[in-house]
């Protein structure tokens, strides 16, 4: 039995075959009438019929020509779609996606719809038969990608009757690119790069965000993408960024003028975190009974606490008191800060729980290139790898490529952060400096006890003797 080709995927051969199958009787009628005697009435009817037939044929040719793809990439997409539809039953059977049919001797494979294209990726809707689940389709995603010549395949959806197989044939994130920053801020998101379809990708500002990636994976692109993307509200005073750079200031010092507060050593970093906690708690008291959600104003801006190399504060610090204070302040900020406009954006290389005890308080996570599958699961969750997040397979030649786990529970999204150059940082920092800069001051240590001024003693009044003492 021949499978019907969807109208939008037909070629000229398909259209002509359909025409011959459906309209053969018209040609036969013309031939028969042409052999009849030349009766005037019959001849007139024959001529009118021929004219109508020619008109309909011309209309069909015009409509079909307009529907046919003209560009080479459109023809390629049509051919790939036809190949998927034609070969799907055999491919599905060979990769183990067939189940015995109910009441029949044959095998049943998942049903699919015509592919829908987004750039160089297509989405194929799949309805799984009973006996197959989402995990079966996910387990065979790589084999399906190879069978159809795609670079990668991911599975979306939860219900077996409404799954989507996404096939990517060209990597839109293969080459580095730059963003035109800064841009007008919408108050909710920050433009950071592009997604797997080549469309703009923006990171939501609000959830506490954790960026994890090995050395050289592109964490700086996300740090500077955030700062340059917020340059306009920083300059206007709606947003303040308090920066901590445990690389000795090597990373953030280039854009120092964008930061309201800045710390590079351990002690000042802990003081900055504790100052953020104190300001957060004071704002919570001020907003209590008035609103449950902070709205940024010039008098009450959104505070972004930006931390580079977070593990230097939470795990590698040798001073136990500073280590304890840093973890306590970070946990308090991450658990209470969002509603009152205090947001933590932190980067680190080692995502283990021992390195960051408060890891579970970061609800928006970004996984750059990581060392193994276990680290990917630590950052993006247990089901992320099965859903297509392969942070451990990102090439070292593509810094900035990452998988983002949205806060709303959607599957991980493959993205790439834009390339940020030193010249871009200097230019934006010089034009969009923060309206105020508050230094982080280390309080004076208490004086030694022997050097502290002694309070003047008041002379003691003579003790009154008891009668017993007087008698003796």
Residue 228: pLDDT over 70? yes
Residue 152 and residue 197 in contact, taking contact as beta carbons nearer than 8 Å: no
Highest mean pLDDT: which of 62-66, 127-131, 464-468?
Answer: 127-131
Residue 97 and residue 132 in contact, taking contact as beta carbons nearer than 8 Å: yes
% residues pLDDT > 90 (the chain): 47
Nearest CA to 340 out of 273, 276, 277, 287 is that of 287
Q: Cβ–Cβ contacts within 10 Å for residue 22, how many?
A: 9
SS3 234: helix
In angstroms, the CA 426 to CA 437 distance is 17
Beta strand 121-127 with 116-118: parallel, antiparallel or unpaired?
A: antiparallel
Residue 51: pLDDT over 60? yes
Helix axes 12-34, 40-67, angle to 10 degrees: 180
Side by side, which strands form the sheet with 364-367?
Answer: 200-204, 189-195, 413-417, 401-405, 364-367, 209-212, 342-348, 302-308, 239-245, 261-263
Q: Cβ–Cβ contacts within 10 Å for residue 67, how many?
A: 11
Pick 435 or 446 by higher pLDDT.
435
In angstroms, the CA 400 to CA 175 distance is 10
* pLDDT band at 5; cut points 50, 70, 90: low
- For tokens 């592919």, name the residue: 115
Instruction: Quote the mean pLDDT of the chain.
Output: 85
């Amino acid at each position: 039995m021949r499978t019907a080709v969807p109208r939008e995927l037909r070629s000229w051969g398909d259209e002509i075959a359909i025409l011959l199958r459906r309209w053969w009787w018209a040609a036969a009628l013309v031939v028969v009438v042409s052999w009849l005697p030349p009766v005037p009435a019959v001849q007139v009817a024959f001529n009118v019929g021929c004219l109508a037939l020619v008109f309909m044929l011309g209309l069909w040719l015009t409509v079909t020509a307009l529907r046919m793809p003209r560009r080479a990439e459109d023809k390629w997409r049509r051919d790939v779609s036809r190949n998927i539809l034609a070969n799907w039953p055999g491919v599905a059977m060979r990769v183990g996606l067939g189940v015995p049919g109910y009441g029949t001797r044959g095998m049943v494979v998942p049903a699919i719809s015509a592919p829908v294209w987004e750039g160089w990726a297509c989405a194929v809707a799949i309805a799984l038969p009973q006996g197959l689940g989402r995990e079966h389709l996910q387990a065979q995603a790589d084999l399906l990608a190879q069978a159809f010549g795609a670079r990668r395949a991911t599975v979306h959806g939860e219900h077996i009757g409404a799954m989507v197989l996404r096939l990517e044939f060209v990597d839109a994130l293969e080459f580095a690119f730059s963003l035109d920053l800064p841009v007008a801020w919408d108050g909710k998101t920050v433009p950071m790069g592009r997604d797997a379809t080549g469309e703009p990708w923006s990171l939501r500002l609000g959830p506490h965000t954790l960026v994890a990636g090995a050395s050289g994976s592109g964490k700086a692109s996300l740090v500077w993408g955030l700062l340059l993307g917020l340059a306009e509200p920083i300059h206007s005073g709606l947003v303040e960024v308090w920066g901590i750079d445990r690389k000795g200031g090597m990373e953030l010092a280039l854009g120092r003028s964008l930061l309201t507060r800045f710390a590079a050593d351990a002690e000042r970093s802990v003081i900055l975190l504790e100052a953020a906690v104190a300001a957060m708690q004071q704002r919570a008291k001020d907003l209590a009974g008035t609103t449950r959600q902070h709205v940024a104003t010039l008098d009450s801006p959104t505070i972004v606490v930006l931390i580079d190399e977070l593990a230097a504060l939470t795990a590698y610090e040798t001073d136990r008191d500073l280590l304890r204070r840093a973890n306590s302040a970070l946990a308090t900020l991450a658990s209470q800060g969002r509603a009152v406009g205090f947001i933590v954006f932190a980067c680190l290389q080692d995502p283990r729980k021992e390195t960051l005890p408060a890891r579970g308080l970061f609800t928006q996570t970004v996984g750059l290139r990581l060392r193994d599958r276990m680290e990917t699961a630590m950052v993006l969750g247990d089901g992320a790898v099965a859903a297509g997040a392969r942070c451990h397979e990102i090439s070292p030649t593509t810094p900035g490529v990452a998988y983002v786990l949205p806060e709303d529970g959607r599957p991980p999204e493959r993205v790439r952060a834009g390339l940020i150059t030193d010249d871009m940082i200097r230019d934006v920092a010089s034009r969009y400096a923060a309206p105020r800069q508050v230094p982080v001051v280390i309080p004076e240590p208490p004086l030694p006890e022997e050097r502290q001024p002694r309070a003047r003693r008041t002379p003691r009044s003579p003790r009154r003797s008891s009668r017993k003492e007087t008698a003796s």
